[in-house]
A and B are shown apart, each in its own frame.
Chain A
Amino acid sequence: MIRQGLTDGWRTARSFWALAVVLYMGNLSISAGIAWAVAWLLDAASGSSLAVGVLTEGYNYTVISDLRQEGFDYGRTAMGAFLVAAPLSVLLNTLLSGGIIATVLRQASGLKVWNFVAAAVAYAGRFLRLLLLGLLLLLGVAGGVALLLVVLVPAAGWGPVTEKGVVAIAAAGAFMVLFGGTVVWTAVEYARLWVVRDSISSARRALLKGLRLVGTHPLATMTLQLTSVALVAGSVMIQLLLGAPLRMESVGGILAVAALHQGAVLARSFVRLWLIGSQSSVLNAVSPAGDGTG
C-alpha cells in the first residue's frame, strides 16, 4: 500500500502539474505583496540616505537600529508581516485544497478553471471547519504534552533540573507536539479527501473518520506524511545551502536569490500534490468509494 501510494503520488504530481503551479502562484502572490509593502515602507523611511546601501550586503545592526528613528522598525515590521501573511496563507491553501482535491479525485483531464473554482467554493465551508477543528485538536495535543511534562518531571524526581535537563525536556516536548500535530493533520487531510470523495457534509464526522484511519493504518498513513515532511525539510536545506553564497547587491543578484527561492517553493508545491495523490491512493485501498464505510 505504501509503495502504491508513493507511485500514485508521483503520477498525480506529474499529471496535475498545473495544480502545483496554482498552489505556487497563490503563495507567490502573498510573498510579493509582503515584499512590495516592506520595500515601500523602507524606501519611504530612508530612500535618500546613503547609509542604507550596506543593507544590500545583509543585515547591518547599526543601520537597522537607526532606521527606527526614521519610523521603520524591522522587528515589528517582520512580525506584522508574519501575522498578516501566515493566516492569509493558511486560509488560501485551505481554500485551494478544495479545488485541488476535487480535480485529482475526479481524475479530470486537464485543469478546468471553472470546475476548480466551483469545487473550491463548494468545499470552502467544510474545509474551514476542518481547519478549525484541527487547530483545536492541535492545541489540545500541545496542552496535553505540557501537562504531561509538568506532572512527569517532578514525579520522576528530576527537580531541580539542570540546563541540559531543561533543553532535553523542551526538545522532548517539542518533538511530541510536532509528532502529535502531524498525526492530527494527517487525519485532517484524509478527512478532506473523504469530504470530497464521499460528499460527507459533517466536518466533525469526516475528522473522526480521518482519525480512525490513521489509528488503524498508522504505518501507511504516517510513512507517506513523514516522507512529505522529509522532502520539504530537504528542500529547505538545499535552498539554504545554495543560497548562502548569493548576494543581493544588484537587480541581478536579487533576481537570482528570488529565483532560487521560488524554485524551492514550486518544488514544495509539487510535494504537496504528490502527498494528495498518495493519500488518495491509500484511502481508496483502505476504504473504496461506495463500499458503505464512507
Chain B
Amino acid sequence: MNHLGSSLRIWILLVLVLGEASAAWGSALSERRANYTIAVRLDPSTQQLDGHQLICWQNLSPDTIEALPFHLYLNAFRSERSTFYRGARARARSFSPEEAGWIDLTAVTTAEGVDLTPGMAFVRPDDANEHDSTVIEIPLLHPLLPGDSVTLSMRFRARLPRVKVRTGYVGDFFMVAQWFPKIGVYEPAGMRGRREGGWNCHQFHRATEFYADFGVYTVAITLPEQFVVGATGVQIAESSAEDSLKTLTFHAEDVHDFAWTASPHFVVVPAAWRGVDIRILMQPQRLAQATRYRDAAIASLQYLDAHLGPYPYPSLTIVDPSYRGFGAGGMEYPTLITTGTVWGMPKGARFPEEVTVHEFAHQYWYAMVASNEVEEAWLDEGLSTYYTGRIMDETYGAAHSLIDLGVIRAGRGERTRTGYTQMDDPRSTPIAATTWEINDPEFGRVIYYKTATMFATLEGMIGRAAMDSVMRSFFRRWRFRHPAGEDLVAAFNELVPRLRPDRFGAGLGWFFDQVLYDTVTCDYEVAEISSSPAEDARMAERSAARPDTVPGLHLYSSTVTVRQLGAARIPTSIRICFEDGQELLEEWDGRSSSVVLRYRRGARVLSAEVDPERVVLLDLNLINNSRTARPSDIPAWSVATRLALMLQTVIQLLSLWS
C-alpha cells in the first residue's frame, strides 16, 4: 500500500469536510486552545497504531512559552518500572508482557518544516522516576509570545496493551483511549489559585485520570472494513481504502479528549433524545440489555438538562465492552462512555443502569466543567457520584434503585453513603488532598463516596432548592473553564447566605473546613435517656392533703444525653417523644461534644432521636442515633427467625442427602 499517497488523500478529505462539519456544531463554547487533526491507522493483527497529527496550540496566556509538554500516556504500560506500575504495585498489581503498551513520537516538525525531534526529552515533574516516559517536552524554536499560536506536525507509533485499565484490546475488541500525544494545560497566574503561570502536565499515576485543554478534533481512522467504530463526536465522512480498509472521519468541537472503539461484532442500536443522536454499541449476546442503557441515558439527559443545563453536544456514544474486556468499562470520554454488564444480568440488579448514569454524569463535570482530575479528582468523581445517586433514586425509587431482588433491596444513594461509612479508616485522607500524591488504598472511597456523601449532607442542610441553585450557577459559570475546588467552595459561600440567610448567613466555610479540608468524622449518639418521679411529686403522694396538687398528677424529671463521638461540629436537631404522645424538636448547634436536655413534665421520655430527618448523612452510624425506653425484641427475632428459616430450608435440602 502506498502509505504516503493514502495519508495525502486523508488530509485532503479532512480539509474538505472540516468546514462543513464545523457548521453543524454551532458557535464556540470554549477557548479552543488545543486543536487536533489526526490521521491514524490501526493494524488489528499487531494492535499497533500508526499516526500523524497536526496540533495547533494557542497561547492565550500573558506569558511567553519556551517549550510544550505532551502526555504520552501509553508509555505507562511500557514496563513495570513506570510511575503507573510503581503506584499499582503498592496495591499488589502485577505486570505481564501481554499488558505492555507504548507510544513512540518518531518525528516532530514545525509548520515550516523545521525538525524539533532532536530537542525532545522526557521529563518527570512528579517523582523523577527515570524509567517513566509519560511526559515529553518539546522546546520551541522560537519563544511563543502571548496571543500567538504554533502548529506542529507529529508522527507517532503506538501499541495498545491488553486491556486492563481503560485502554487496550482483547481479541478483536479495541478501546483506544489516551493514544495520541496530548498537550498539557498551561495555567497562567490566578488560574486555579496559581501564583505564577506554568504548565500542568503530570506523569501518569495509577490513582489518577486526565486533564487537558478544550479544542476541536478531526480524526480520520483507517482500519479493516469489517470493524464497527464508535468515537467522540460525530462521523462526518467514510471512504474506502486499499486492501479492504476503510477510513472513517470523526469531528468534535469543544472537547478535551478523543477516544474511540472498534470491533467487528458491535451491533449498533440507535436512539435519540431532543436532537442528541445516541448510538449504543452492543455486544451481540447482550443485545437484549440495550434498552436498559438507552433508558438510563435518556433519564440522565433529562435530569441533568433540567437541573444543571443543556447538554450541548449533538451525539452520545455508549460502548458495551466485550467479554473479558471489562477493564475498558465504566469510563468517560467526551461524548463517549463505556459501560459494562454481563449476559443474563437480572433486571433488578441495576448495575448497567448505574454505570450508564454515572458515566453520563461525567459528561457535565469531566467533559464540560473539566476540573483537574489529577490533582482534584474529588471535584469530578464526587459530583458525578452525587448526581448518580440522585438520578438513580428519582428514576427507580430511592429504596431499591440499585438492587431490587425480592427481599434484597438497596438504593444507590444509601450505597454511596455506606461506601464511605464502611471504610476501614474514615479519617485516613482529606477529600481535598492532592490526588496524585495520595498513597492510601482506600482513596477511591474518599474521592467517590465520602465526597458524594458530603454533597448529599449539604443538600440536606441547605435544602434541595438551594443546592440546585448553587450547582446550576457553578456549572454555568465554570463550564469549559477548569475550575478548582476552591471555586466550588466560593460558589457555596457566595450563594448560600443569600438563599438561606435564616441558618447560613455566615456561609459554609466552617463545614468545608471540617469535611473537605480535614478528616473529622461525625457520629451522633443518644447516650442515655432516663426518667424518674420528680421530688415534689413524691411528696404529694405521701401527703394526700396538699391543696396545690392536682389529684393523680405525676411529675417526672427526665434527662436525655446526646453526644458527638467524632470531632465534627455540625448542628442538628433532636426529637424527644414522651409517653403521653407529645413531641419536641430541639435544635443543637453541635459546637460541643455533648448536650444534656432536661425536662420536668407529666410524662416520661419515651424515646430520643438525633437528626431524625437524616440530614447529616456523613454520620458514620445511624443505629446509635436513637434510643427508646421501651425496647422491643421483635425486630431482632424477626431478623433471626428469617435467617434461621432460610438456613433451615437450605440445610434440610443438604441433609436430605445425608
Contact = CB atoms under 8 A, between A and B. Distances in A.
Nearest to B342: A163
Interface string A266-294: 00100110000000000000000000000
B609 A50 contact: yes
A43 to B, nearest CB: 4
B5 interface: no
Nearest to A60: B409
A85 B643 CA distance: 12
B649 interface: yes
Nearest to A189: B657
B621 A272 contact: no
B628 interface: yes
Nearest to A27: B652
Given A61-B411, A94-B658, A239-B649, A52 B623 contact: yes
B628 A228 contact: no
A141 to B, nearest CB: 12
A43 B343 contact: no
Interface string B232-265: 0000000000000000000000000000000000
Nearest to A269: B652
A191 to B, nearest CB: 13
Contacts of A258: 641, 645
Interface string A178-216: 000110010000000000000000000000000000000
A84 B635 CA distance: 23
B647 A85 contact: yes
A78 B636 contact: no
A236 B653 contact: yes
B633 to A, nearest CB: 5
Contact of A50 (B620, B626, B647, B658): B626
Contacts of A81: 643-644, 647
B147 interface: no
Contacts of B650: 82, 86
A48 B606 CA distance: 11
Nearest to B403: A61
A59 B408 CA distance: 6
A65 B423 CA distance: 12
A254 B641 contact: yes
A185 B625 CA distance: 52
Q: Interface extent on B, as a size class?
A: 35 or more
A109 interface: no
A63 interface: yes
B640 interface: yes
A114 interface: no
Interface stretch (B80-88, B361-369, B412-420): B412-420
A59 B638 CA distance: 10
A36 interface: yes
A162 B284 CA distance: 11
Nearest to B651: A89
Contact of A35 (B632, B637, B657): B637
A42 B639 contact: yes
Nearest to B411: A61
A78 B626 contact: no
A268 B650 CA distance: 12
Given A50-B607, A62-B622, A251-B634, A35 B641 contact: yes
Contact of B633 (A47, A61, A167): A47
Nearest to B634: A56
B644 A49 contact: no
Interface in A138-169: 160, 162-164, 167
B652 A38 contact: no
A65 B641 contact: no
Given A43-B636, A167-B344, A89 B623 contact: no
Given A50-B609, A66-B623, A249-B638, A61 B415 contact: yes
Interface in B614-631: 620-628, 631
Contacts of A51: 622-623, 625-626
Contacts of B324: 160
A265 interface: yes
B636 A34 contact: no
Given A35-B640, A38-B639, A62 B626 contact: no
B549 interface: no
A239 B653 CA distance: 13
A291 to B, nearest CB: 29
Contacts of B620: 69
A56 B414 CA distance: 19
A105 interface: no
A212 to B, nearest CB: 20
A53 interface: yes
B624 A59 contact: no
B171 A49 contact: no
Contacts of A43: 633, 636
Given A55-B638, A261-B649, A86 B626 contact: no
A100 to B, nearest CB: 12
Nearest to A72: B623
Contacts of B635: 42, 52-56
A165 to B, nearest CB: 9
Given A35-B640, A56-B635, A160-B171, A86 B627 contact: no
B641 A93 contact: no
B648 interface: yes
B285 interface: yes
A167 B343 contact: yes
A253 B621 CA distance: 29
Q: Which of A55, A61, A160 has the most CB of B within 10 A?
A: A61
A43 B635 CA distance: 8
B643 A78 contact: yes
A32 interface: yes
B285 A163 contact: yes
A90 interface: yes
Contacts of B641: 35, 39, 248, 254, 257-258
A67 interface: yes
B628 A50 contact: yes
Interface in A28-45: 28, 30-32, 34-40, 42-43, 45
Contact of B658 (A54, A63, A82, A131): A131
B652 A265 contact: yes
A37 B637 CA distance: 10
A181 B637 contact: no
Contacts of B653: 232, 236
Contacts of A261: 645, 648-649
Interface string A14-34: 000000000000011011101
A102 B654 CA distance: 22
Interface of A: 27-28, 30-32, 34-40, 42-43, 45-56, 58-59, 61-63, 65-70, 74, 77-78, 81-82, 85-86, 89-90, 92-94, 97, 131, 160, 162-164, 167, 181-182, 185, 228, 232, 236, 239, 248-251, 253-254, 257-258, 261, 264-265, 268, 271-272
Given A50-B628, A51-B626, A253-B638, 5 more contacts: A52-B636, A62-B417, A248-B642, A265-B649, A272-B656
Interface of B: 171, 285-286, 323-324, 342-344, 403, 407-411, 414-415, 417-418, 421-422, 607, 609, 620-628, 631-645, 647-658
26 contacts: A31-B645, A34-B640, A34-B644, A34-B648, A35-B644, A39-B640, A43-B633, A47-B631, A48-B631, A50-B607, A52-B623, A58-B409, A61-B409, A61-B415, A66-B623, A77-B643, A85-B651, A86-B650, A86-B654, A90-B655, A92-B655, A162-B323, A163-B343, A228-B656, A239-B649, A271-B656
